Structure formats: C-alpha cells, structure tokens
Amino acid sequence: MIRYHILICGGTKCENSDCKGVISALEDSIKHNGLENEIKLVETGCHGLCLSDPNSIIGSLGTVIVVYPDAVTYAKVAPGDIKEIVEEHFINNRPVKRLVYDEAINGENLFSLNETPFYKNQSRIALKSCGIIDPENIDEYIANDGYQALAKVLTEMEPGEVIKTIKDSGLRGRGGAGFLTGRKWEFAADQVSDKKYVCCNADEGDPGAFMDRSVLEGDPHSVVEAMAIAGYAIGADEGYIYIRAEYPIAVNRLEIAIKQAKELGLLGNDILGTGFNFDLNIRLGAGAFVCGEETALLTSLEGNRGEPRPRPPYPAIKGLFGQPTVLNNVETYANITQIILNGAEWFASMGTEKSKGTKVFALGGKITNTGLVEIPMGTTLRKVVEEIGGGVPNNKKFKAAQTGGPSGGCIPASLIDTPIDYENLSAVGSMMGSGGLIIMDEDTCMVDIARYFLDFTVDESCGKCVPCRIGTKRIYELLKKITSGLGEMEDLDKLEILCNHVQTASLCQLGQSAPNPILSTLKYFREEYIAHVKDKRCVAGICKNLLKYIILAEKCKGCTACIQVCPTGAITGEIRKAHIIDQEKCIKCGACEQKCRFAAIIRR
C-alpha cells in the first residue's frame, strides 16, 4: 500500500541543479530501505516555491519536496538530507523539523528583521553585537571575538602601530566635532608624563539621541575593551567613563562589564601576562548638557562644577587632573575593536573621501520606522528617509531633517540627496553632531523648532561666558516674539547679527553651535519667518497665537459634539445648524478639531 506520495520538482527550467541529485538519492534510499511499495515518487512541474529570483525577499528555497497525505513541505533539501528524511519521516513517521518549510517563509511574508529595508540598508560596526549578545554576560562577548583585539595589540603591536592603525583607518570622533581619533591619541602618546588618562564621554544629552545609551546597554564590553586599547596606545593605566545618571540601565551594565572583566583578569594588573595594567572607573554626571563638552566634562570629573575652560591647552596635552588625556565618545570607542581586528584598510574602504566608516543615528520624528540605524558615511538623506525610515507617515510631505540636535541645523527637502558625512553636513549649515536625526513633515513649523532648540540651550547654558548666557536668551526672546505674532521685519536682521556674535564669541561649542538651528532655518525657510512677521501666519498651524480654529459652515452638520468638548464654551450653535467659534473665548486647545467627525473644523 502506498503510504506516502512524494512530489518533487522535475522542472527543466529550474536552475537548482541539486534537484537531480535529490531525486536519485531518494530513489536509492527508498530502494535501500525496501520501501518501493509504500512510497511513490512523483516528478512534478515547478511548485512555485523555489524562488530563485535574486531579487526575491527570502532568496532561493532550493529543492522543494512535498510529502502527501499531510502535505509536509521540505525546502532547501540537499542529497545529504535524504537519508534522514527517509529514516525519520517515512519509516519512523516523524517529520524532520529542521527542514520543514513553514508557509511562514514564503516570499510574500517576511519574518526576519534582517530582510526588511530598514535593516538591509544598514552596515553594522559599532552596533555589531548590539541586540544580539547578552550584554551582562562576558562569556558571550568573548565567544564573539571579545577581547581578541586587546590581546592582539598587547602581544603583536607596538603602541605606535596601534595609533597608526587608528589614524590610517580615518576614524573621526563620533561625538560631533569629527576630529581624527588617531591624531588625538598621537598627541597624548607624545606627551611625557608618568600619569595619563583615557576617558569616555557617555554624557549623551541631545534631545532625541540615544545612540550611546544603546551601545552601552547592548554591548558595554566593546567600550571597555577599546578603552584598554587606547590606554595601551598612549601609555595610560587608568580610565574614566563619564555617564549620565539618567541612564541607570547603561550604568548598571557597564558596572557588570567592568566587574566581569576584572574577575577574568582582562582589566587590572598584568593583563594577559603582558605586564600591561589598566583599570576603569565610572563617574555619574548629573545631567548638564554642557558636560558633553570635553573641557566641562573633565572639570566635572575632577569634582568641580561642570564648566568649560578655554582651549588650548587641549585635553591630550593637559586634561584630567592636569595630565595628558584621551577623551572619546562611546560610539568612537565602539569602532576601535573592529578596526584592530579587521584592519585600517577595511574600515577606510567604507564611507567617503574624508569621512570613513559608518555612523549611528537615532532616527525619530515624523518617520515610519523610528529606531537606531547605522549607515555607511555618504549614504544620502533620501535613502535614510525613504528606504530605511520607510518614508513620512500619513501621506504627509517630507519638509526637513534636523541633525545634530540643539547644535545642528535643518536640511530642507530640496537637499534630500545630500550624502551624509561630516563635510556635507557642515556645508549645508548643519552638523553631524552625535547622531540625532529628526524628520519633520509639512505640519512642522520651522520657526517653532528653532524656538524649541533655543529654549533648550538657554536652559543648558552654564552661564560662564556672556555671549552664551545672555546671547542665547536674547535670541530666544526674539524667536518667542515672532512665534507670538509680534515680530517685526527688523527682528530677522537682529537675529542674524546676534547669532553671528554668539557663534564667534562663545567660550565653548555649546554657545558656538547654539545659533545653528536659527541660522539654518533662516537660510532655508526664510519665507516662513516672513509669513510669521508680515502676514501673521503660521503655515504649519503650530504657533497658537497665529492661528484660528474655524468651522466650515458647509461641512458642519450641527451635531454639537464640539460644543460639548470645548472647555471655554467658545462654540455656540443650534442642533443641525452650523456652529460658530467665538475667537475671543477660544484658547486654541484643538479639542473641537479632534472631536469633529466631519472634518468641518480647520486651523487657519
């Protein structure tokens, strides 16, 4: 009696040459087990499952066989699998689970994040193990080549070679300014001193940015290992990680990582028997944005109020406690082990002429896919917005992208083909910054955005220097005036002059870069400023003082729903007759607009 019918594709067009091998292996095995009378082999045409189209989402399914009566489908069957299928399934009646093809994995469905456009367009170096390994388990880090880079530099490389490798890779600081990391290390290495320090800037403070937090929460050992490598390169035996107290999970995982590394002897004295000593400490920052600036960070590390000091001397010459110090950002460190293991050329092969490697961005705002993305330098903004980000939701138009947070600027839609790297972003009046990337749609008011960022910098200015302390406040007041509908045309000129002064005269980058959000929006969206000033209009419908809620009489059904939600009793009208909003009483809360089912209430 035939127990099983086996359908196998014998299609001649099929390019899976394995099919023939599978068929003959099946025939042999059936014969060998004496199953000729129980199993019938049927050669069929194409099952339509073996997607050999290279553009298909899941790639080839290889040779497919279907076993009836249960229609168990095996995919990617190789001749070597036949013995197992025959013995397990046909004789013991246990389908071979590992080969079973679930309807799940067919071309129309995709089940793995790796196959989505969000993920496919990324290249992960700094985030290589983030989201894959258990960050609280050093064993898993070691299993994935962890501490191999440290072992390599300690046993095979002179400190000078390490610095040369980092220099040749072209790695630049990922904290914003983009200084060549290898050069920084070289300056510190060249100093003669019996005490040097390696520090890590994990004081990530830009609104909307969480790259460093994610690296520390997902792969803390990569930073620990890289700091030890930096220590070896410059001749330091001690390091500090300065991290915001607002990142409790990252702090906790770093503590665990350092403890585990010490227990295994990968931090401490005589690491791997090479005589190299290196120890790490964690210091918590209290959340002052200015402490992300390097001199302010070091001042805070020393136990003082976090305020910047003039440079030079640069930290590499005179840093923490007056000693030569290398201070790098978390993401910069996260690239180091990969550069050591794969070589400078490998890293330099990615990116653009002057910006090598990749950059991690925290993608947010009016975008379909919000998240953490790592892309090669030189990827266009269009690719990030449209492919990785999945476009702007709700059929709205892309208006601008904000990079660099309060220190950066807005890139307008007309420049969406700008390749993202240090040079190009500066050229369009923005900056790389630490990697916040906020997407804005047509409902975003650019003047209001500038006001928002200035509000932030006014709060965060440390107050040490006058241009930043008073200048940002005056800029903020002007912006507030414009968004309130009281602006005059001469305010725009005043803004520009003031911005230039603050930019050139401030002590540290906080003040120097604070005007960027205004200058870039003034450059690309000047007509929006003018509309606020001259026409007293906010096109995006954001600035409350400039907008009115109006009921369109022709659309209003007179249902009274808006009347019931209005908190100030500003709406009047009889049932089934068009209602009216009393502009004197209206506080522009928008409750009526949300409640109206007929789209009869609009902002103008």
Alpha-carbon distances of 299 from 199, 294, 325, 465, rounded to whole Å: 12, 9, 12, 16
CA angle 134, 434, 365 (to 5 degrees): 85
Whichever of 226 and 445 has its CB closer to other proteins, that residue is 226
Q: Which of these segments, 245-253, 342-350, 400-408, 590-598, binds other proteins (CB under 8 A)?
A: 245-253
Query: Which residue number, 215 or 339, has a Cβ lying nearer to other proteins?
Result: 215
Among 4, 74, 118, 232, binds other proteins (CB under 8 A): 118
Q: Which stretch binds other proteins (CB under 8 A): 262-270, 290-298, 316-324, 410-418?
A: 262-270
Strand bridging mode 409-412 / 398-403: antiparallel
Residue 166 neighbours by CB under 8 Å, 6+ apart? 181, 182, 185, 233, 336, 339, 344
Shortest approach of other proteins to residue 472 CB, angstroms? 30
| 79 secondary structure, DSSP code | G
540 binds other proteins (CB under 8 A): no
CA distance 185 to 179: 11
Of the candidate residues 18, 87, 136, 386, the single one contacting other proteins (CB under 8 A): 136
Other beta carbons within 10 Å of 259:
12
**Interaction of residue 123 with other proteins, rule CB under 8 A:** no
Regarding 158 and contact with other proteins (CB under 8 A), the answer is no
> What is the spatial distance between Cα 449 and Cα 443, in angstroms, rounded to a whole number?
11
Smaller CB distance to other proteins: residue 96 or 586?
A: 96
Nearest-approach distance from CB 118 to other proteins, in angstroms = 7
Region label for 62, one of left (φ > 0), alpha (ψ between -120 and 50) or beta (otherwise): left
* Choices 32-40, 136-144, 418-426, 454-462; region in contact with other proteins by CB under 8 A: 136-144
Q: Which is nearer to other proteins, 38 or 115 (CB)?
A: 115
> Which DSSP letter does residue 571 get?
E
How far is 482 from 476, CA to CA, in rounded Å? Answer: 10
Beta bridge partners of residue 278, listed in sequence order: 268
Considering only 2, 46, 91, 143, the residue that binds other proteins (CB under 8 A) is 143
Q: What is the three-class DSSP state of 44?
A: strand
Residue of 111, 553, 567, 585 interacting with other proteins (CB under 8 A): 111
Q: Does 133 bind other proteins (CB under 8 A)?
A: yes
| Binding to other proteins, residues 391-450 (CB under 8 A) | 393
Q: Does 139 bind other proteins (CB under 8 A)?
A: yes
Beta carbon nearer to other proteins, 437 or 468? 437
Q: Is 214 in the site for other proteins (CB under 8 A)?
A: yes
Among 90, 185, 197, 210, binds other proteins (CB under 8 A): 210
Give me Rg for the CA atoms of the chain. 31
SS3 282: strand
Please work out the total of residues on this chain that contact other proteins, with binding judged by CB under 8 A: 62
CA distance 579 to 502: 50
CB of 276: closest distance to other proteins in angstroms?
12
Binding range to other proteins, per CB under 8 A, among 112-120, 292-300, 514-522, 579-587: 112-120
Tokens for 244, please give them.
């915001």
Which residues are CB-contacts of 30 (< 8 A; sequence separation ≥ 6)? 36, 39, 41, 86, 90
**By CB under 8 A, which span of 101-109, 178-186, 278-286, 300-308 interacts with other proteins?**
101-109
The single residue among 13, 55, 92, 103 that binds other proteins, judged by CB under 8 A, is: 103
Interface residue with other proteins among 137, 349, 426, 560 (CB under 8 A) is 137
Tell me the closest approach of the beta carbon of residue 65 to other proteins, in angstroms.
17
Q: Is 71 in the site for other proteins (CB under 8 A)?
A: no
How far apart are alpha carbons 513 and 130 in whole angstroms? 31
Determine, following the binding rule CB under 8 A, whether residue 371 of this chain makes contact with other proteins.
yes
Distances (CA, A) of 392 to 104, 367, 381, 409, 472: 29, 5, 13, 19, 32
- The Cα–Cα gap between 597 and 440 comes to 26
Does residue 390 bind other proteins (CB under 8 A)?
A: yes
* 370 forms part of the interface with other proteins (CB under 8 A): yes
Q: Cα separation of 203 and 330, whole Å?
A: 9
Per-residue x/- mask for other proteins, residues 336 to 365, rule CB under 8 A? Answer: ----------------------------x-
Q: Smallest gap, in angstroms, from Cβ of residue 142 to other proteins? A: 5
| Contact between residue 347 and residue 338 where contact means Cβ atoms under 8 Å apart | yes
Binds other proteins by CB under 8 A, chosen from 52, 109, 572, 594: 109
- Tell me: does residue 116 bind other proteins (CB under 8 A): yes
Say if CB 523 and CB 503 are below 8 A apart. no
SS3 279: strand
Minimum Å distance from CB 26 to other proteins?
Answer: 20
Local structure of residue 316 (DSSP, 8 states): T
Least Å distance, CB 54 to other proteins, is 16
Residue with tokens 């930096």: 230
134 near other proteins (CB under 8 A)? yes
Pairing of strands 276-285, 371-376: unpaired
Residue 291 makes contact with other proteins by CB under 8 A: no
Q: Does 213 bind other proteins (CB under 8 A)?
A: yes
CB of 423 to other proteins, least distance (A): 27
Q: How far is the CB of 362 from other proteins (least distance, A)?
A: 9
Residue 154 and residue 58: Cα distance in Å, rounded? 43
Burial track 19-55 (b if 16+ CB lie within 10 A, e otherwise): bebbbebbeebbeeeebeeebebeeeeebebbbeeee
**Beta strand pairing call for 197-202 and 325-329:** parallel
Asked if 105 touches other proteins (CB under 8 A), the answer is yes
Contacts with other proteins by CB under 8 A lie at 58, 97-98, 100, 102-105, 109-116, 118-119, 127, 130-137, 139-140, 142-143, 145-148, 151, 155, 210, 213-215, 217-219, 247, 249-250, 263-266, 272-273, 364, 368-373, 390, 393
